[in-house]
Structure 1
């Protein structure tokens, strides 16, 4: 019953989780909407086929797809070729023969954006051992160009954009202003209320992951409550970002869309509503944002 607006099913399988069992469980849970997110050049067919195989050759109707380029250093360095691969994926995504009709109802470009934890002077040396999302790059100009290319590709196709923005508020907003495409979501929200205001004023949605379940101190709980309450109800989304950002009480384990119930329950408590009502609201918001136009 709980929509997940941002998950990486192939990444979950890469961590050893049984994808077939997960898909069966999600179907049993009557999941209304799940968006499988692209991150690499040309990964769309691989992701679709992996889910097809795990589901016995029939795509679950609740699964939908995006295609996008995460700001990885290697992709930024080869961004012209990466964009060629992405444009080919986007053409496939929008082709009526690529997916069953139900799975074509909702689609997006992403995730894409800026990550100044891994990229730029403070992050270029992180991940050199292969850990995390690194290695990064010092080429922040190239990073911003890749993001702008994707915003322009989304505008040309009238697609919503799933934006990754980490330690990069000013630069992210600057790229969006420059291109002038304001249909999408800032996923995995990590900023405050003043930053939220800047994106909301431009028409963006904001999505919260499992870290809303982590707070133990009253000050942190008050901050999360204020953030959730600040976002207009019709712009609010929830996500897992699975296999990352596992909600409490399962931190330390691989995250899956099945665990998103903990995020809904925590967010609903902060908002003073039932988890069931919040589930209906988020599913409606997801369908409105990601509906194919």
Structure 2
């Protein structure tokens, strides 16, 4: 999902939520993302909502599984991203059964009880109140329909050829900063959200919650897309002044990724991180429950 407000522009001047960044990130993990979609076992002919679709990078993967007899509705809050998604789709094989609309996640442009799947990738990290948003999405699903949330968790990120103590200080400083920065006017962000998703779906009223984890490992030599991705992430860890890190730690971290002796160019380079895909079923409340809710609402 593209976010209207820039979170951080790295040293290349590239906002980490900009289209180019999203495309680079997507390309660097293409094989794992294909597997994620296959593992969902989405039925042909499904009506699927891509909630926070951004520039439509996941659309081809989703279109493969729903097929031409299905339908995909991509929604996003960014007009720019939706324009790019439509352009990407215009001359594609899936154009006839995909459409895009501008909307927020908690107010989807469709009737209640019609979607088979609501899929949302790398969006929950930007939600200050994810439980409320997930709960608001539920009624748009058919009875027994599934919400699928995919996201990162940088608590799982490890570089095997970087000093472990330095990594720990950098990661802890960023996690602490994310807990503080929203109070200083920055947009909300939780890059440790992946491992929390199952509990969020449970709190939002979903059942039969299933969590799949995907360990993404890259070793030297690295494709350019992954180098660009990792350099962007490395710079992001020390952005906005890195208030909880010493100047020496910032410099050491920078040297690891951007100096002539970058760890990315070493034959012993190995990076691992785990991404989370969590699904939950939505069951529509009975008419009696709905009446009780309406009565309670009127009496308040």
If the length of structure 2 is used for normalisation, what is the TM-score?
0.30
Write 1 or 2 for the structure with the bigger share of strand: 2
Q: Which entry has the higher C-alpha Rg, 1 or 2?
A: 2
If the length of structure 1 is used for normalisation, what is the TM-score?
0.31
